[in-house]
DNA sequence: CACTTGACCTGTCCGC
DNA sequence: TGCGGACAGGTCAAGT
């Protein structure tokens, strides 16, 4: 899927479009894609959209006349909040379609998406969320690895997948020393594989692991225990740089990823190594190599990365 | 226990 | 053009 920058892009866009909207109907087209009781969501109002690692959360509360009051309730009584949790895995998409765009507080937000309207649903649509103003959110997932689940907000922290997650790399508190500490938890594996473990750092996937290691000039085959403090510092900077750059570019679109408007991200136009086998290294002009590490394609420059 | 491989799915692309 | 195999943003469980 979508790694951190792609989910972050979806989160930011969805937030401006669906907060304050009331859910009217949920249609499940593939049972395996949906866990929990969808009927609990009908009539609820969206109060928040958030991201943790590669997961997307949409918080909803039972509607009480106005959405303003709902917002108040959410702050006072978190036990009332339900979360619609998404994991897009390899091929998930979240598409928003609203003919006039969502409205909140009297002004219109977002861009018109009438072009997507006729294309949705498509053959990979697995779940459809309909709002009372006619807007819709489509969860598409060609490979059916992704999922949507309904869970009480208060129960999320108890989920094993949440408890074990490593730190968020774009939070201010994420330092190179924390990165070092997390990576040394499994010091005998290859650095590229360690970066993919969500217990090490949350949100880094196959694209940004290769990119961050290139920026840090570290060979992806290195064993974690061989890294110096200077390496950890460069890697820390490389992770942040690649993730931030990708968010600026709206994420990476190799095959499936699109944002909520159905548009592709452009990070791969700037990528140093990912998906650039035999391409020219932007720094030393030698050929980019592709190898397999931990069963995943890994791209790097033999000259630049030591 | 630490680490690796296969499974989950559908679709596309590449070589013969 | 057709067919088989490898491969694709992720994560689990089972295997070594």
- Model pLDDT for residues A163-205, shown as the tens digit of each residue: 999 999 999 999 999 999 999 998 999 999 999 999 999 999 9
In which band, very low, low, confident or very high, does the pLDDT at A139 lie, cut at 50, 70 and 90?
very high
**R_g (Cα) of chain A, nearest Å:** 20
Q: What would the 3-class secondary structure string for A82-98 be?
A: EEEEEECCCCEEEEEEC
Higher pLDDT, A114 or A186: A186
Q: In 3D, which of A53, A50, A52, A72 has the Cα closest to residue A61?
A: A72
Give the Cα separation of A256 and A263 in Å (integer).
10
Q: How far is the CA of A179 from the C1' of B1 (A)?
A: 23
Nucleotide nearest to A90 (CA to C1'): C9
Q: What is the pLDDT of residue A29?
A: 98
Q: How far is the CA of A297 from the C1' of C3 (A)?
A: 25
Q: What is the pLDDT of residue A25?
A: 98
Evaluate whether A171 touches A51 at the Cβ level (below 8 Å): no
Nucleotide nearest to A207 (CA to C1'): C9
Give the count of beta carbons closer than 10 Å to the beta carbon of residue A76: 7
Q: Within a 13 Å sphere around the CA of A177, how many CA atoms are in the beta-carbon half?
A: 2
User: In strand C, which positions have an atom below 7 A from any protein CB?
Assistant: 7-12
Q: What is the pLDDT of residue A19?
A: 98
Q: What is the pLDDT of residue A70?
A: 52
Q: Which of residues 225-244 of A touch strand C (CB under 7 A)?
A: none
Q: How far is the CA of A6 from the C1' of B12 (A)?
A: 22
In which band, very low, low, confident or very high, does the pLDDT at A210 lie, cut at 50, 70 and 90?
very high
Q: Which of residues 283-302 of A touch strand C (CB under 7 A)?
A: 292, 295-297
Does A110 score more than 70 pLDDT? no
Q: What is the pLDDT of residue A115?
A: 53
């Amino acid at each position: 899927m979508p790694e951190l920058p792609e989910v972050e892009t979806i989160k930011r866009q969805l937030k401006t479009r669906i907060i304050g909207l009331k859910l009217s109907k949920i249609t499940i087209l593939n049972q395996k894609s949906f866990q929990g009781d969808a009927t609990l969501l009908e009539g609820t109002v969206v109060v928040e959209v958030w991201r943790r690692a590669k997961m997307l959360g949409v918080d909803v509360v039972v509607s009480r006349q106005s959405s303003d009051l709902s917002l108040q309730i959410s702050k006072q009584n978190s036990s009332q909040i339900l979360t619609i949790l998404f994991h897009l895995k390899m091929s998930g998409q979240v598409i928003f379609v609203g003919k006039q765009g969502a409205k909140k507080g009297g002004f219109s937000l977002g861009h018109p998406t009438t072009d997507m309207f006729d294309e949705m649903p498509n053959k990979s649509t697995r779940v459809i969320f309909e709002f009372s103003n006619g807007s819709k959110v489509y969860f598409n997932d060609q490979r059916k690895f992704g999922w949507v689940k309904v869970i009480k907000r208060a129960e999320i922290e108890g989920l094993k997948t949440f408890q074990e997650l490593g730190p968020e790399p774009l939070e201010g508190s994420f330092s190179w020393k924390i990165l070092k500490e997390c990576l040394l938890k499994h010091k005998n594996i290859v650095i590229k594989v360690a970066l993919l473990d969500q217990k090490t750092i949350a949100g880094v996937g196959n694209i940004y692991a290769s990119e961050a290691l290139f920026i840090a000039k570290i060979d992806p085959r290195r064993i974690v225990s061989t890294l110096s403090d200077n390496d950890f510092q460069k890697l820390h900077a490389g992770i942040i740089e690649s993730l931030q750059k990708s968010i600026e570019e709206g994420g990476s679109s190799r095959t499936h990823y699109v944002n909520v408007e159905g548009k592709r991200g452009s990070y791969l136009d700037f990528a140093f190594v990912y998906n650039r086998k035999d391409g020219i290294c932007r720094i030393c002009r030698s050929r980019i190599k592709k190898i397999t590490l931990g069963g995943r394609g890994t791209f790097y420059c033999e000259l630049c990365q030591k």
